[in-house]
Structure 1
Amino acid sequence: MDKKVDTNNIASYKKAIYSGTFDPITNGHMDIVRRASNIFDEVIIAVAKSERKSPMFSHEQRVKFAQEATKNMPGVKVIGFDTLLVELATSMKINTIIRGLRAVSDFEYELQMGYANSSINKNLETLYLMPTLENAFVSSTIVRELILFNGSFCHLVPKEVLKCM
């Protein structure tokens, strides 16, 4: 006899959330999205409002940048949010958070966040992915600095984002 499984109470292992401020989304972020897309059926890019970080671009702009950069990537969805990431993941029945690690300096912060999230929701896992070597130095901070000082940054962000800017 077949057992009926109530899928409303089961977290999906086929979906993951990749969250961040994405101010703006960079080729490094896109590298992580591509890697995550090879592992999961659906990757949700969750753009945090993060007003306390005083982003250069508005929340709406950052969501649009991410949507444009991923519009041709099947299985990738972009949403904005202004809650705890753990709350968002739980409400969406997603149990995997994707985080990118560029260097050892990222690891300590990301490890603490992963443990903090797990302390709130024991079913939540954090998967750390590294970008390719060519994108290992790329960060939104570097892109913002280049923008502020009229430096060349075109090679660091998706071409779709450049069109939006």
Structure 2
Amino acid sequence: MIKAVYTGTFDPVTNGHLDIIERASKMYDVLYVTIFINPHKTCLFTVEERMEMLREATKQFPNVVIDESSSLAVEYAREVGAQVLVRGLRATEDYNYESLMCFTNQYLDDGIETVFLMTRLAYTFVSSSFVKEIVSHKHSVEGLVPACVEKKLIEKYRG
């Protein structure tokens, strides 16, 4: 059984994230989609809210497990018995950052592989930060996030 871990802040989950989740869920027996808690990052949504949105958005993928952690990715992967870290890439800026992260993870545990998946072209510009900015200016993000996420964003920004 091959287990993989896909980590992120997911504040909030976007259709770009879901593209990676859907494709990775077909590649591995179990895919842990794990919210990594970064104490240096200020998030719009609580961990519980992000977990709820991820559960709703991924309910059609039976082999996806939603979790949260404050460990390093390789430590978490070891904890759950995963052999692979899945990382999504949109553009060269992502590659530069993610390759350094990959080399760091190899240093920490060279037995855990990192697999990069390019997002589909339609999502190359989508980021959680851009989505929040768009909604904060009262514009629709339909097609960029799942409907359940758009609803939560509107509630946060418009009361």
- Using the alignment, how far apart are the partners of 1:27 and 1:157 within structure 2? 5
Aligned residue in 2 for 1:125: 113
Residues 55-112 of structure 1: CA deviation (Å, up to 9, x unaligned): 1111111111111100121111100111111111111111200000000110010000
Q: 1:62 aligns with which of 43, 50, 64?
A: 50
Aligned residue in 2 for 1:73: 61
Of structures 1 and 2, the larger Rg is shown by: 1
TM-score by length of 2: 0.91
What is the alpha-carbon root mean square deviation over aligned residues? 1.3
User: What is the CA-CA distance between 1:48 and the residue it aligns to?
Assistant: 1.2
- Using the alignment, how far apart are the partners of 1:57 and 1:155 within structure 2? 20
Aligned residues: 153
Aligned residue in 2 for 1:96: 84
- Using the alignment, how far apart are the partners of 1:122 and 1:149 within structure 2? 44
**Aligned pair 1:33/2:16, yes or no?**
no
User: What is the CA-CA distance between 1:163 and the residue it aligns to?
Assistant: 4.5
Structure 2 gaps of 5+ residues are 154-159
Aligned residue in 2 for 1:154: 142
Percent identity of paired positions between Structure 1 and Structure 2: 39
Give the letter aligned to residue 3 of structure 2: K
- Using the alignment, how far apart are the partners of 2:37 and 2:53 within structure 1? 14
Aligned residue in 2 for 1:114: 102
TM-score by length of 1: 0.88
Contact 2:5-2:77 at 8 Å conserved across structures: yes
Give the letter aligned to residue 63 of structure 1: M
